Structure 1
Amino acid sequence: MHLPINPFKAALARNEPQYGIWAGFATSYAAEIVAGTGYDWMLIDGEHAPNTVPSLLGQLQSVAPYVTHPVVRPVSGDPILIKQLLDVGTQTLMVPMVETAEQARALVRAMRYPPHGIRGVGGGLIRATRWDAVPNYIKRAHEQLCLIVQVESRLGAENVTEIAAVDGVDAVFIGPADLSTGMGYAGDASQPEVQASIRGAIEATRASDKACGILAPREEDARRYAEWGCTFIAVAIDVSLLRQAAIDNLARYREPAVAAISHSRTY
């Protein structure tokens, strides 16, 4: 059995645009529905959605037959948790709140076996090796693993050049909601200061010859960030899509004044 190819990582290297969707329902059933809709990638969220390692595993298994590539976001960059997520077959990790190059280097080490890292060897116990069916997994695993670091604070944005330059970091992903909140604008990424910070982070990442991504559910934002250089953009959130569809459906049957419900969070 061959080492499974990571098509998402390959597309990043080719600088191809990839459109993604946030998967926040924390169930395999919902994840499979989303995977069947044709997005290039989906973020299975373990930071803000109520996921555990077993539930993340179930979602990886449920979306495996589809072309949509699963990206897993852990709750933190804990190397023990990273080891578990890699062992159950995660190929692409997006780690939140990375603020320094030192943190980024530690994440790279967590994803690699000695002598280049600290990842423990599970051998025949782990899904990533297909239970020892993949030859030379220890020597070759890093070839198909992809590390995305999230820059979503003022400090992270200030250090993005050094973060992006770390060998083993494949991409930087900007979190507009946390970044704008940390800059004093309570989730309003439309503010000029926040937009300048985002554009600067994109340009610094691209200058390091690394891919840059962002969360942008509003079309006008997504298209602007693509123009600025982002190549992988999350353009939808499954929970938000369901909620808005339910609101819109009910509004057809109630008086407009009663059904005037909106969600106004700006990313």
Structure 2
Amino acid sequence: MPAEPEFLPVVPDGAQPPYVLAKQALAHAIAAGALAPEQRLPSERYLCERLGISRSTLRRTLKELGEEGLVESSERRGWRVRRVGFSHSPDAAALVGFADLNRSLGRAVTARVLSARTRPAASEEAERFQVATRAELFELRRVRFLDGLPVCVSHDLVPLAVAPAVAGADFTTASLFGLLAAAGHVPVGARYTARAALADAEQKRLLDLSGPSPVLNTRRLSLDSAGLPCADSRETYRADRYEVRLTLG
């Protein structure tokens, strides 16, 4: 039987009530992998002792974590970590869009559009896309949701000449990569990077995070069959709703 995870006791700071601090401790354990998807949480007695909180405080903590989609309860088996979010191998994610990949897995994919506009390319952007300086780009910023839960903030740039239809699309549900494919620019390659960080104030607000919260920042420059860049995408994922799988060797 695996050892029970360890937790630092909640230390009241006067600024936040104990249940909020306990919620942050458990959310951090989930984000850090100390509590894995589908894993049953330790007993209420164990959690109360380790966190130094009362049973009523713990129950409020678990209720709120459940409302946020991080844990779920079963009458017979207690609480367990819920398997939510975006799970993929990097090679697949680099070539398939967020919406297309997750819809293929049976998830409800929606978005809240923060901004959508056309603007001239800056010199560095023009060089990256191999287009003329001040060529028109379509710029899109969204919060992406899976099954109603915020998972990532995305920022996409596309040369407007590549897929003119993007300028009139409803990106609350539309797939950017689907529109690229319809315009004859199916991404077949990509340059992909990922970097862990702590969420900034805007990311916390958009992804419904509190306290020091880890996120994963990714960037991919998608290439079409001619080897030309067709989209530059930057995405910030909630660490507790994002998983990367690697196969080595």
TM-score normalised to structure 2 length: 0.30
Which is richer in helix? 1
Q: Which has the higher strand share?
A: 2
Normalising by structure 1, what TM-score? 0.29
Largest Rg, 1 or 2: 2
